């Protein structure tokens, strides 16, 4: 059947973290040429697109998310010609290319900020968020930085504070300013002109702050006993520093720009653990094509009931926006380590990934997820992440999810580099190396390849409507329908076998060979732990 809908609505997007993908220059840091040389591997996974984390010029205090020049490639990673090579090679392989765009803030080394901080009356004096101190010299309000401490830094040249939602070296742009918006849109045009197919928009809700600088109220939900209780940031309800409705006007300008280039795509990071709070606004018509939050990324337990509840909160009807389902990324602990279930079932997270890829919307697959990599245990003396160094040892930061990819078990540093990598590879990564798993038919890598290859040929799983069916809490049961075709999907996201009565399910013909650990017998579907079963749609 010919494709009837935009490619992104049912896409699987493979995230590449350049520093840790492949080093071809011999400096221990991954680079753009390493990405270009391994795009055949990415395409072999059955994905539709790559999202490449920042490679623009940066002092690397936050490893690329502190940009010094929005239209220049950092020499650590390569050149503009290397970007062109990636785009050309990806397109030849049928892959789209999305790149990170960090538009809420810059590095403090950016020329715009150097000019802005110099005085209160220069041409860029109002390009960043500046505020006078309170009479006692303290910051203007109680806003906190994600990375620890107040989100205000004193600048003696202006006798004012500037806002930084992350590191003090990452000052926030004042995106209310039309001149700032125009400059950011011009930077986006540069990359569209180069041929990229879209952007992953970092920290979308941070673009615009409350003009009155009102204090944030305390968080309504108790924080004790959760994964985030190490950080006072989560003690606040971030009502005024992020998620302001004024942000949406700039999002609409970004969408108009993307549409003017003929179908370029915007994937927004909502940075919001309450799934429905921002998703509906940001994915409304004329805004983001896709958006994801940290809905599942913080979770230490994920079952069928949790995913169904989230999907219903986000909305999955014809008029609703499209989520991008994410189990892992560069900012969160890898799921085999994070989740408290599935430890006795190797590759169990691939069942979750398969389930997410069958839901309405797109899905992200973070590099190494196809290998079922656990988090690397990085000793303190090797930690690079400023977030982890601030809150260690209660929170060890994000480096564990950023350790390099193991390509070959028989090579130094698992074939990632010829020298000591910027982050160490754990010894247990050798048994999970790409070459090793490629030679094992039942490996997580080959299981996911087979599944995504089949899924890619199912129009109903890519673009169809979705409806859920009653099932035990561990089980995710739903159908996808596109025209006359449909697929019933049953996933057991639990450690115990489950029997699902078939009486109320629209079971049709078994799609043999595409499920795993599931069988229909004696009027019921029997699902092994972390099993999946698929049928065509029939009459209940």
Distance between CA atoms of residues 159 and 120, nearest Å: 9
Residue 475: count other Cβ atoms within 10 Å of its Cβ. 23
CA 290, distance to chain mean position in Å, is: 11
> Mean pLDDT across the stretch 396-412?
97
Check: CATH 3.20.20.370 for 464-537?
no
| DSSP H helix total and E strand total for the chain | 14, 20
pLDDT tens sequence across 80-138: 999 999 999 999 999 999 999 999 999 999 999 999 999 999 999 999 999 999 999 99
- Which pLDDT score is estimated for 2? 43
* Model confidence at 4: pLDDT above 90: no
The count of residues in the chain is 540
Angle between helices 444-456 and 348-358 (to 10 degrees): 10
Alpha-carbon gap, residue 474 to 342, rounded angstroms = 12
Summarize pLDDT for 123-169 with one digit per residue, the tens. Answer: 999 999 999 999 999 999 999 999 999 999 999 999 999 999 999 99
Q: What is the pLDDT of residue 1?
A: 40
pLDDT, position 146? 96
Q: Is the pLDDT of residue 444 over 70?
A: yes
Please give the pLDDT value at position 274.
58
Residue-by-residue DSSP string for 23-90: -SSSSSS--HHHHHHTHHHHHHTT-SEEEE---EE---TTTTSS-SEEEEE-TTT--HHHHHHHHHHH
* Homologous superfamily of 7-106+177-455: Glycosidases (3.20.20.80)
Average pLDDT over the chain, rounded to whole? 95
Q: How far apart are CA 501 and CA 482, in angstroms?
A: 25
The angle at the Cα of 281, spanning 275 to 282, to the nearest 5 degrees, equals 85
Model pTM greater than 0.95? yes
- Cα 253–chain centre separation: 22
* Residues with active-site annotation: 202, 269
Helical H segments across 385-443, by residue range:
386-391, 434-438
* Domain limits, the chain: 7-106+177-455, 464-537
Q: Which residues contact 212 (CB under 8 A, 6 or more apart)?
A: 240
Residue bearing tokens 């620890």: 148
What is the per-residue pLDDT for 522? 84
CA distances from 13 to 16, 25, 46 (A): 10, 26, 10
User: Nearest CA to 374 among 317, 295, 432, 436?
Assistant: 432
For the beta carbon of residue 94, count every other beta carbon within 10 angstroms. 11
- Do 176 and 138 contact (CB within 8 A), yes or no? no
- How far from the centroid of its chain's Cα atoms is residue 191's Cα? 20
Phi, psi of 61 (to 5 degrees): -70, -30
- 165-179, 205-219, 223-237, 281-295: range with lowest mean pLDDT: 223-237
Sign of CA dihedral 321, 324, 327, 330: negative
Q: For residue 466, what are the contacts with CB-CB under 8 A and spacing of at least 6?
A: 311, 316, 359, 360, 478, 479, 480
Measured CA to CA, the distance from residue 496 to residue 528 in angstroms comes to: 7
Tokens at 196, concatenated: 């990229």
Task: Identify which has the larger pLDDT, 276 or 195.
Answer: 195
Calculate the alpha carbon distances from 84 to 35, 195, 235 in Å.
Answer: 12, 8, 44
pLDDT, tens digit (0-9, with 9 covering 90-100), for 491-505: 999 999 999 998 889
For the chain, how are helix, strand and coil distributed in percent, rounded to 5?
A: 30, 20, 50
Two structure tokens written together for 481: 């329908």
The separation between the first and the last C-alpha atoms of the chain, rounded to the nearest angstrom, is 26
- The two tokens of residue 11 are 């896409």
Rounded to whole angstroms, the Cα distance separating 202 from 188 reads 13
pLDDT over 90 (residue 442): yes
Residue with tokens 């795009």: 39
Tokens of 518: 């599931």
């Amino acid at each position: 059947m010919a494709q009837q809908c935009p490619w992104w609505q049912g896409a699987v997007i493979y995230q590449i973290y350049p520093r840790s993908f492949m080093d071809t220059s011999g400096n221990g840091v991954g680079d753009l040429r390493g990405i270009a040389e391994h795009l055949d591997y990415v395409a072999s996974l059955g994905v539709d697109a790559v999202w490449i984390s920042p490679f623009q010029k940066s002092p690397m205090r936050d490893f690329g998310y502190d940009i010094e020049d929005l239209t220049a490639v950092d020499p650590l990673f390569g050149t503009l010609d290397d970007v062109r090579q990636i785009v050309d090679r990806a397109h030849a392989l049928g892959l789209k290319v999305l790149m990170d765009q960090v538009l809420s803030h810059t590095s403090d080394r950016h020329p715009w900020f150097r000019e802005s901080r110099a005085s209160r009356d220069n041409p860029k004096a109002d390009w960043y968020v500046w505020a006078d101190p309170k009479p006692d010299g303290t910051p203007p309000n109680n806003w906190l930085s994600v990375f620890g401490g107040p989100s205000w830094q004193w600048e003696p040249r202006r006798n004012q504070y500037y806002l930084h939602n992350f590191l003090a070296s990452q000052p926030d742009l004042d995106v209310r300013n039309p001149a700032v918006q125009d400059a950011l849109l011009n930077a986006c045009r540069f990359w569209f002109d180069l041929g990229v197919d879209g952007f992953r928009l970092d920290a979308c809700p941070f673009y615009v702050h409350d003009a009155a600088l009102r204090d944030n109220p305390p968080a309504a939900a108790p924080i004790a006993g959760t994964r985030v209780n190490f950080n006072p940031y989560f003690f606040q309800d971030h009502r005024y520093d992020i998620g302001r409705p004024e942000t949406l006007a700039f999002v609409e300008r970004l969408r108009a720009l993307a549409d003017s280039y003929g179908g370029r795509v915007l994937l927004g990071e909502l940075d919001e653990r309450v799934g429905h709070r921002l998703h509906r606004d940001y994915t409304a018509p004329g805004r983001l094509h896709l958006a994801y939050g940290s809905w599942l990324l913080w979770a230490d337990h994920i079952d069928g009931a949790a995913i169904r509840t989230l999907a219903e909160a986000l909305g999955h009807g014809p008029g609703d926006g499209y989520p991008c389902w994410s189990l892992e990324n560069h900012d969160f602990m890898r799921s085999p380590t994070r989740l408290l279930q599935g430890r006795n079932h190797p590759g169990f997270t691939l069942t979750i990934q398969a389930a997410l890829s069958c839901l309405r919307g797109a899905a992200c697959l973070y590099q190494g997820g196809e290998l079922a990599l656990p988090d690397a245990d990085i000793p303190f003396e090797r930690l690079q992440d400023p977030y982890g160094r601030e809150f260690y040892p209660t929170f060890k930061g994000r480096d564990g999810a950023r350790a390099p990819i193991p390509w070959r078990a028989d090579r130094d540093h698992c074939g990632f580099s010829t020298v000591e990598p910027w982050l160490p590879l754990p010894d247990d990564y050798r048994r999970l190396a790409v070459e090793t798993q490629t030679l094992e038919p039942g490996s997580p890598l080959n299981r996911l390849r087979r599944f995504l290859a089949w899924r890619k040929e199912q129009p109903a799983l890519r673009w169809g409507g979705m409806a859920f069916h009653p099932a035990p809490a561990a089980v995710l049961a739903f159908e996808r329908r596109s025209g006359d075709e449909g697929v019933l999907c049953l996933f057991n996201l639990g450690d115990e076998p489950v029997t699902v009565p078939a009486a109320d399910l629209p079971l049709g013909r078994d799609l043999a060979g595409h499920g795993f650990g599931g069988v229909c017998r004696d009027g019921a579907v029997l699902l092994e732990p972390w099993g999946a079963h698929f049928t065509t749609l029939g009459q209940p």
